Amino acid sequence: MNAVLLSADLPYWAISLLRVLGGLVAVLLPAGTVVYLFLFKMLSFMQSRLGPMEAGPYGSMQLFAEVGKWLQKEDIVPASAQPEARIFKMAPLIVLASTFLLVVVVPFGPDAWFTNFETGIFYALAVSSVSVLGILIAGWSSANKYSLLGGLRAAGQLVAYELPMVLAVIGVVIQAGTMNLQEIVVAQNAGSMFGWDGLGNPYVLTQFVAFLIFMISVQAELSQTPFDMPIAESELVSGYMTEYSGFRFLIFFIGEFATAGVFAMIASVLFLGGWGVPFSWFGWTTIDSIDNWMNVAGPLILFAKMMALVFFIMWIRFSSPRLREDQLQRFAWKVLIPISLVNIMLTAVLKVAF
Amino acid sequence: MTMLGDRQQLAYIAAQAADARVNVELETEGMTLNIGPQHPATHGTLRIIARLDGEQVVWAEPSAGYMHRGYEKLTEVRTFPQVTALVNRIDWLGSFANEVPFILAAEKLMGVEAPSRAQHIRTILFELSRIANVSLFLGDLGVQLGAITPVFFAFRDREYVLNLIEAATGGRFHPNFDRIGGLKDDLPAGFIDETRVVMKKLRTFCDQIEDLLFGNEIFQARTRGIGVIPKDVALSYGLSGANLRASGVDWDLRRDQDIPMAWNKTEFKVITHPDGDSFARCWVRLQEVRESTKIVDQLLDTIPAGPVMAKVPKIIKVPEGEAWVSTENPLGEMGYYVVSQGDQGPFRVKIRSASFNNISIVPWLLKGVYVPDIITILASLYFILGDIDR
């Protein structure tokens, strides 16, 4: 996207506008598709019902109807939250902002990216923690005991699961030798396994343990079942979201699914070869030799990979019960972190050996 | 909470705390958490007042009565046949089972006994309402623990049972079908074959739930060893039903007492579990649904021909006296102490409902558990608000 825009010699404001629109599409399109396909339809089929059928063909316009409904609702600030009304109102925006900050580093094609950081994955892991801030603020400023418990649980959980996530990513970084997400994609697709380059070298094969740990941590970062104690409808009555209504709740809701989509994008960039196909299929060797049509096909390939990963995230979400807070912490500190440390050591040793 | 930003307040708290302790930083203030009356985990309007230290409960007490409907008083201004319409609504998920002990008590006072066919049909409907009730519990259990899918399976398969009850009685939830001396009607045509099919479906449902929930490691981690009720405590708090049997007490009114119902003509196992934890309570209920389907199957095979109504006068006057009859209802022991003074209606009725006694153990049981476990324990105790508040 960047190279295309620069070559067109547009003014700065036009480039910025196009980038903002691109960012909106990159965040909202996956979120909408995930909500419709998985939350509305897959969940319904799993539960032996049809789901929305009235709004549009097979209920495909249901999300728009829901958004319309939420936008009409009153934006309520509880009386006891009035002293910090500004902070209360700000919290969902912080959560959503973290998603937008996250999508900035995801590469969508050889030239289709928003920014191309040298330390892309480092940045992504850093900004993903911003949402903790929003959730903690939401839980605290709601002046509701359930929200407070939910917010504190979320903070504890997100901090605990940040660590295995970072450690899992380190394995990939060691193997690729770079933190740049674009270069990680290229390294996977241009690579070869024992001299055979028919599939490139997707890191999901060599870093399978890291992939599992990453996906488990993503599940916890998104507070999806079995790690959904911060929300926990049946005990905390939606936790930190309890007091939100109208479009602020909508932002939380969209943010949840958009973040699921963006995390799945990052996972597919790190482990499944991102936007690329194995370069040997078309005789490419480096990033400069890639045909231009990949800038169109790349986002679609990334989207397909993302949907496959979100499918697993949602499948687990819809079918498993919820852990308890202390069990979750124990799982993070006593199981995931030791395994990921061993994985890092093994990766490093093998990297030096080969 | 909003006051914490206030510097004076903070200084005051620090000064207070410093008097008592040297280490101020680690001291936390307690918090009182009201679970309910409006809360998804209490399926109704039960209020649990829990005093928390962090997420740990130091003191808890259930506060019932938000849905008290005064049925004991209302029965005094009703005639005997009218009372069944009221008591239907006590345990609204297994409502036919509520009518039976009251009718049996009235029959005991009048000295009539329902014909053998009526006793069989009563027992079949009784067990069907147990299945409808407990199968919903099995699905709801998943929701309380965060698994949202099993509850839809439960609703789907409970519907088959409710259809049967509707076919026989005309009402899905409130049959109002039991009469003094028998039943309102005979079974409809095709009921027996249809019931056999449904019982097979319900056994499949039990297998599904066992696979989906009970075999799940997370479910086991959440329920095993949580909310353990030892045998003697269970007995001293007057628990009944599956809650008591899960603590290892072999006690089942269907087998242990001689009442004019058809249970003694069937073979069934009384399920017990030695552990007494939440998992045991859920597991016992699951197995009881299986046993109930077998009871129904046996009764369908042996159902005798004959009338469904004994000879009773048109206007029922129950002779003076007092009678107590209790049965093993889906939630536990449910009994009616009926006092009659020879009128058309009872003089006084005392309803002993299972849930009221079952939740009396909550203050003892919740001490020291974490907030998520409150929900697990309440779900596994399985109460129905109508059964607590009456």
List pLDDT tens digits, range A142-190. 888 888 888 888 888 888 888 898 898 988 888 888 888 888 888 888 8
| pLDDT band with cut points at 50, 70 and 90 for residue A60 | confident
A319 to B149: CB separation less than 8 angstroms, yes or no: yes
pLDDT surpassing 80 at residue B263: yes
Residue B4 CB coordination number (10 Å): 11
Query: With bands split at pLDDT 50, 70 and 90, how would you rate the model's confidence at B7?
Result: low
- By CA distance, what is A80's nearest residue in B? B2
Tokens of B189: 């045509």
Compute the nearest-CA separation of B3 from chain A (Å): 10
* pLDDT surpassing 60 at residue A275: yes
Q: Which of B9, B49, B141, B148 to mutate to test the interface with A (most CBs of A within 10 A)?
A: B148
Q: Which residues contact B171 (CB under 8 A, 6 or more apart)?
A: B165, B177
Mind telling me how many Å the CA of B144 is from chain A's nearest CA? Answer: 5
Q: Is B2 part of the contact surface with chain A (CB cutoff 8 Å)?
A: yes
Among all residues of chain B, which has the CA nearest to that of A45? B149
pLDDT (0 to 100) of residue B22: 46
Q: What is the pLDDT of residue B61?
A: 86
Q: What is the pLDDT of residues B165-175, one digit of tens each?
A: 999 888 888 88
- Name the CATH topology of B73-353: Cytochrome-c3 Hydrogenase; chain B (1.10.645)
Residue of A234, A238, A318 to mutate when probing chain B, most B C-beta within 10 A: A234
pTM for the model stands at 0.81
Would you tell me which residues 326-345 of chain B have a C-beta closer than 8 angstroms to some C-beta of chain A?
Answer: none
* Domain map (residue ranges) of chain A: 2-353
Q: What is the pLDDT of residue B17?
A: 56
C-alpha distances out from residue A128 to A332, B269, B278, Å? 18, 55, 38
Whether the predicted pLDDT of A1 surpasses 70: no
B352 contacts B360 by C-beta, under 8 angstroms:
no
- Which residues of chain B are within 8 Å of residue A146 when distances are taken between CB atoms? 33
| Residue B221 to residue A324, Cβ atoms within 8 A | yes
B222 interfaces chain A, CB cutoff of 8 Å: yes
CA angle A82, A87, A93 (to 5 degrees): 130
- Residues from chain A that touch B216, judged by Cβ atoms under 8 A, are 320-321
What is the distance between the alpha carbons of residues A236 and B370, in angstroms, rounded to a whole number?
13
Compute the mean pLDDT over every residue in chain A, rounded to the nearest whole number: 84
Segment A299-305 shows an average pLDDT of 88
Q: How many other CB atoms are found less than 10 A from the CB of residue B25?
A: 7
Of A311, A150, A161, the C-alpha closest to A233 is A150
Cα–Cα distance for residue pair A10/A29, rounded to 1 Å:
26
**pLDDT single digits (tens) B17-49:** 555 544 445 556 677 888 878 777 767 778 888
Question: B133: closest CA among B90, B86, B183?
Answer: B90
| Min distance B382 CA to chain A CA atoms (Å) | 15
- The stretches of chain A forming alpha helices (DSSP H) are 2-7, 12-34, 43-46, 62-72, 85-103, 120-128, 130-141, 145-176, 181-190, 203-206, 208-221, 233-236, 246-271, 294-319, 325-330, 337-353
Q: Is B153 on the interface with A (CB under 8 A)?
A: yes
DSSP assignment, residue B45? S
Residues sharing a CB contact under 8 Å with residue A38, sequence separation 6 or more, in sequence order: A310, A311, A314
- Supply the pLDDT for residue B197: 92
Q: A228: nearest CA in chain B?
A: B146
**Which residues on chain A place their C-beta less than 8 Å from a C-beta of chain B?**
43, 46-49, 80-81, 83-84, 140, 143, 145-146, 148-149, 225-226, 228-229, 232-237, 318-327
Please tell me which of the candidates A143, A233, A324 has its beta carbon nearest to residue B372.
A324
User: Between chain A and chain B, how many beta carbons pairs sit less than 8 Å apart?
Assistant: 93
**Is the per-residue pLDDT at A81 higher than 80?**
no
- What ipTM describes this predicted complex? 0.76
Nearest to B147 among A319, A326, A327 (CB): A319
User: How many CA atoms, within 13 angstroms, populate the side-chain half-sphere of residue A91?
Assistant: 30
Residues B89 and B68 sit within 8 Å (Cβ to Cβ): no
Name every chain B residue with its beta carbon within 8 A of the beta carbon of A148.
1
